[in-house]
Amino acid sequence: MSFYQSPESKKEEFRKYLEKSGAIDSLTSALVNLYEEPQKPPESTDYIQKHLGDSMHPPGSAIMEEHRQQLKEKEALKKENKKLKQKVNEMAKVIDTLKANLAHLRAQARKAKQEQN
């Protein structure tokens, strides 16, 4: 025999879950802060996400420190990538020059060989 749960009881159960987990308090706090913000941000969802993220992970927390380190590493990798792309472009130019020189030398060698025959 299956247990039937009315939509109202499901809603109530979910509300209790949100309340017990602290989600309602966090959301309420984020919304109150947004309401009290003198300069309303253009994107309210970004503001709420930032507020919720900040309250879950304070600045000194290990996860925020790891995030900060990852951002620094990302920037370093971007710089390295840019330098490597420049190096690839430089090497491509050198290769093109060498190919042109090789073609010129081959042409000279063919010409010299024809003159000998």
DSSP for residue 4: P
Q: Of the segments 26-30, 41-45, 93-97, 111-115, which one has the largest average pLDDT value? A: 93-97
- Type and span of the H or E element at 55: helix 44-56
Predicted pLDDT at 84: 98
Instruction: Give CA–CA dist 97/103, Å, rounded.
Output: 10
Query: Long-range contacts made by residues 73-82, C-beta under 8 angstroms, separation at least 24?
Result: none
Mean pLDDT of 78-96: 97
Q: Look at the chain and count its residues.
A: 117
pLDDT confidence band for 57 (50 / 70 / 90): low
How many beta carbons lie within 10 A of that of residue 22, not counting itself? 12
Write the CB contacts of 92 (distance below 8 Å, at least 6 apart in sequence): none
Half-sphere exposure of 90 (CA within 13 A, CB side): 6
